[in-house]
Copies of this chain bind each other. A is one copy, B any other.
Amino acid sequence: MPLFKSYLRFSFFRRYRYALEVLVMSRYLIRWLLIATVVGVLAGSASALFLVLLEAATVYREANTFIIAFLPIAGFVIGWAYHNWGKTVEAGNNLLLQEIRQTSRSRISWLMAPLVMVTTVLTHLFGGSAGREGTAVQMGGALADQLTPLLKLRPRDRKIILICGISAGFASVFGTPLAGAVFGLEVFLLGQLRYNALLPSFLAAVIADAVTTAWGVGHTLYPTVSVPEWSLYTFGATVAAGVAFGLAARLFSWSSHAVAEIFKSRISYAPLRPVVGGVVLIFIVWLLGTTKYIGLGIPTIEASFQMPLPQYDFLLKIALTALTLGCGFKGGEVTPLFFIGATLGNALFPWLPLPLELLVAMGFVAVFAGAANTPLACTLMAIELFGAGCGMFAGLACVIAYLFSGHSGIYGGQVVSNSKHPYWGRDAGKKLTEL
């Protein structure tokens, strides 16, 4: 009889198996549609507010450059705020990566979102050199994680919702939904892309981007880049440029970590670090006599598409950004990486047989690809910002930059899943900070 029963069940199961599966998949789709909508609305709205504040801060600073004199004070406020309220969220992006890898029981404090937004805006207002993606990603991740206890999510689903938050934040702050969706999937492991969160991540990214747009907040528009035919010259130039971008990414990661290490080892009271860093920054800006290298640097990025710029621009931006973020100011690394890549591409123009716009566009994404170890997201970003034509040029540059940045990166919490080269095979399973 048990045999007969199990046959019945088996036969029933086989016959209705596909109908059952469609039900299961529909439930999954509807569930994540709802969750991704909430995450997307939260992250997209946060990004919209952040972008508006950032724009206001930048405009005010450029109109009143004397405000840079108060950078050390702003630094103290930022350092003090994190020292007193932000101990648990100070790790920022790395905390998110850590929680995706090994979910703990404690959800990420909601404080992460306002803290990082306000301190990033302060950093920009008073003239630090920083970016936006770290802030948007942390806001997205922290806001998304507030749903974890509400929806009683299991650890498996908490990982997915954190990835959704990252994708949504990235997609909405740059206006690049595809790149955002893939970035969330790509960033937490080096050398591998897992599809567990594929659908939720895509849904959250597209919704967050649409929400930011619906708030009436736009993004910088870049030129559609036209490309030459493939030839030995253009191919060789693309490979050579990719190597240069990878080395620049490596230099940036190394500088950031080195500066942070120096400040940590020399100044034990954390809020004092950005004060000292701020003084040094003021001195450098005064020496240079220009605000070109602080803030987001969007005007320089735009100029790099049009005319030759000083060859050392990318080095100064590396130095100032490493100093700003290493001493404790807040913000992302990615817009400075765009700046570094764009100006480096610009500097390579006299040496390589590729159009200026294309070299700049390739550098824009490839230095970021090398520093964040996210070559596919960056290839998609190139397509979303500069058009489909440059896809394979940018893709090749990103992949080569990814190789040449080695096992280094701006996200120390990234874990090596597949080493970039058998030479580093023993790094597998370790965090970048442990190497």
List chain A positions with a Cβ less than 8 A from chain B: 18, 21-22, 24-26, 28-29, 33, 156, 177-178, 181-182, 191-196, 198-199, 202-203, 206-207, 209-210, 213, 230, 235, 239, 243, 247, 250, 375-376, 379-380, 383-384, 387-388, 391-392, 395-396, 399-400, 402-404, 406, 418, 420-423
Contacts and interface: CB of A to CB of B under 8 A. Distances in A.
A271 to B, nearest CB: 33
A247 B18 CA distance: 10
A36 to B, nearest CB: 11
Q: Which 7 pairs from chain A and chain B are nearest by CB?
A: A193-B193, A210-B230, A388-B388, A191-B195, A202-B399, A177-B392, A24-B423
A395 B235 contact: no
Contacts of A243: 26, 29
Contacts of A192: 192-195
A388 B386 CA distance: 9
Nearest to A28: B421
Contacts of A422: 156
Contacts of A209: 230, 392
A403 B29 contact: yes
Contacts of A203: 396
A164 to B, nearest CB: 13
A178 B392 contact: yes
A193 B374 CA distance: 13
A191 B29 CA distance: 17
Given A178-B392, A202-B395, A404 B25 contact: yes
Contact of A195 (B202, B206, B388, B420): B420
Contacts of A383: 383, 388, 391
Contacts of A418: 194-196
Nearest to A425: B156
A19 to B, nearest CB: 12
A77 to B, nearest CB: 37
Contacts of A404: 22, 25
A375 B195 CA distance: 10
A66 to B, nearest CB: 42
Contact of A194 (B29, B191, B210): B191
Contacts of A21: 406, 423
Given A24-B421, A206-B230, A418-B194, A182 B213 contact: no
Contact of A388 (B191, B235, B384): B384
A186 to B, nearest CB: 9
Nearest to A189: B195
A210 B24 CA distance: 44
Contact of A182 (B247, B376, B384, B421): B376
A18 B405 CA distance: 10
A399 B230 contact: no
A399 B375 CA distance: 20
A418 B195 CA distance: 7
A22 B391 CA distance: 26
Which of A191, A202, A243 has most chain B Cβ within 10 Å? A202
